[in-house]
Amino acid sequence: MLYKTIARGRYDTAMPAWSVEDGGPLNQAQIESVIALIQHGDWATTRLVVADLGFAPRVPASVVVPLETLKQRQTTMAAVAHVPSSRQSGRIFCRDSTSY
């Protein structure tokens, strides 16, 4: 089950296929090595090795958004919400927006 999940990925999730046969970068031996690491690996050592190789930051990245930027975004969103829909005016407007 673990091999199949790694090789083929998980449908409708962020887990991609990793096997060469399914469009990924890993061959069978590499997938088996990943499984061995998952089942028997030393995760503390692995984390340090991965960070030293430059594949992952040691500390999670954070972003600080200035309060003024957030206020501007709220003002823009409020203005967009008051734009008439295309049915009301015959013109096409952006009625709403999604922020992430």
8-13, long-range: CB < 8 A, 24+ apart: none
What is residue 39's predicted lDDT score, i.e. its pLDDT? 93
What is residue 76's predicted lDDT score, i.e. its pLDDT? 76
* Residue pLDDT, tens place only, 84-98: 555 554 554 444 554
> Cα–Cα distance between 22 and 20 in angstroms, integer?
5
Does the pTM of the predicted model rise above 0.75?
A: no
What's the angle, vertex CA 31, arms to CA 50 and CA 4, rounded to 5?
125
Which ranges of the chain have pLDDT less than 70?
56-61, 79-100
Quick one: three-class SS letters along the chain? CHHHHHHHCCCCCCCCCCEHHHCCCECHHHHHHHHHHHHHCCHHHHHHHHHHCCCCCCCCCCCCCCHHHHHHHHHHHHHHHCCCCHHHHCCCCCCCCCCC
Q: Residue 11 carries which side chain, given as an amino acid letter?
A: Y
